[in-house]
Amino acid sequence: MKLIVAVIRPEYLAAVEAALNPCEATVMCVSQALGSGREPGYKEVYRGREVHVRRPKLRVEIAAEDGAVKTAAEAVARAGSTASDPGGGCKVVVLDLDGWVRIRDGEQEAAVGGR
């Protein structure tokens, strides 16, 4: 099992969710994130002082089976960017997921060799 972590613009969330529907994504979690990269942000004047404002982003974490990781990661990358700015609106990282624990009932499963 793998963990796909993507940082996307908020306006692409619906497209990413729609792209993940056909994939075998087990769990998806979305949280707010601030960052800078190719989009450094902008400056505003607030109460007479110049303030650096970072563009809001969303961090999307998706747990997927090993066979569906490539398809899911490509779907997120496609849905999280535009034709005018390919790859500029989305960054995708794939990590190994050693296992999980369900908090409600304590059920555990090791992702590697546990099935």
**Domain definitions of the chain by residue range:** 2-110
Q: Give 22's DSSP letter.
A: T
Question: From CA 92, how far away is CA 60, in angstroms rounded?
Answer: 9
pTM as predicted = 0.74
Low-confidence stretches of the chain (pLDDT beneath 70): 35-39, 82-89, 110-115
Residue type, 20: L
**pLDDT tens digits along 35-58:** 666 667 778 898 999 988 888 888
C-alpha dist (Å) from residue 99 to 47, 52, 59, 93, 113: 49, 40, 21, 18, 10
Q: Choose which CATH entry (3.30.830.10, 1.10.3720.10, 1.10.10.10, 3.30.70.120) describes domain 2-110.
A: 3.30.70.120
Question: From CA 76, how far away is CA 20, in angstroms rounded?
Answer: 7
